[in-house]
Amino acid sequence: MDIIFILLSNTLLVYYLHIFDPWNFPLCTCPEKYSVDPYTGCEHRCIYCYITSYIPDPWRVRPKRDFLRLFERDLKKAKKLPISMSNSSDPYPKVEREKRITRGALELMKKYDFPVLVLTKSNLVERDADILSSMSSVVAITITTLDDNLAKRLEPMAPSPEKRLKALEYLVSKGVHTIVRLDPIIPTINDNILEIEHLIKALANIGVEQIISSTYKAKPDNFSRITGVFKNSAYKLREIYYQDGEIVRGIRYAPKELRFKILKNVRDLANKYGIPFSVCREGLPLNTASTCDGSHLLYV
């Protein structure tokens, strides 16, 4: 769900702030929070992306109409819950350098005393370290691999893994709480345990405070992209997801035993390097962190 519209007395009202997970997904264990996206569409063009199944023209970034004014109106009426930004479209597209809509949103959340969980793949988040360090905030940066060549195939237009690591290091140096989302892990593609350990060791050295991980969930559009790019893995992935997997609310999951094995390996490595761990929408008893989304860090 991207925008909520309500027709009242023939007037169309637009609400940008809404409760996270409006579909009540059965495997979501997040504490109650809001979700907001300053932009529609995402330019990273990640081949595993889920938004292509529900956002028209998904790779074209466009600012939401009159966003800051309407977002402030929503904040004035909302109860005090954490706000997750952004769950569909990255809050730091290239145009944010000039538009500064995400920065404006952070300023409003600080003004009205709302804690914020920022989700991004962009190193542009470094720019806002000043405001993030002065409010209750956590920044979660997604890193699926440290292999630059693999990253370019998975996330063609996203900043490099090296830039994301440097952004994490900078944020930590400024006192901002940081998380890394190691997701999705796609069987046969970025599930190499030695490479995952290399990443987790680097995160421990930086001082990242939590790792959130999940396995790839297949929908027809993203599955077609993945098997088109990774042709050598196509047969095995079809076997995993279409022959042996399970379906949850229309989404194809890998078999539970395989998901448990992959994510337990990640959990054990996180434990080895002293980083709290959680899974996202997996229904597996592997969490060592206090909350699955890192929201407990907002109150540290």
The residues spanned by each domain of the chain are 15-299
Q: Residues 15-299: name the CATH superfamily.
A: Aldolase class I (3.20.20.70)
* pLDDT tens-place string over residues 115-142: 999 999 999 999 999 999 999 999 999 9
Cα angle vertex 42, ends 247, 178, to 5°? Answer: 85
Q: Is 26 exposed, middle or buried (0-12, 13-18, 19+ CB in 10 A)?
A: exposed
How would residue 186 be classed by pLDDT, with cut points 50, 70 and 90?
very high
Half-sphere exposure of 65 (CA within 13 A, CB side): 7
Q: Which two tokens stand for residue 105?
A: 């949103």
What's the pTM? Answer: 0.94
Flag whether pLDDT at 177 surpasses 60.
yes
Flag whether pLDDT at 100 surpasses 60.
yes
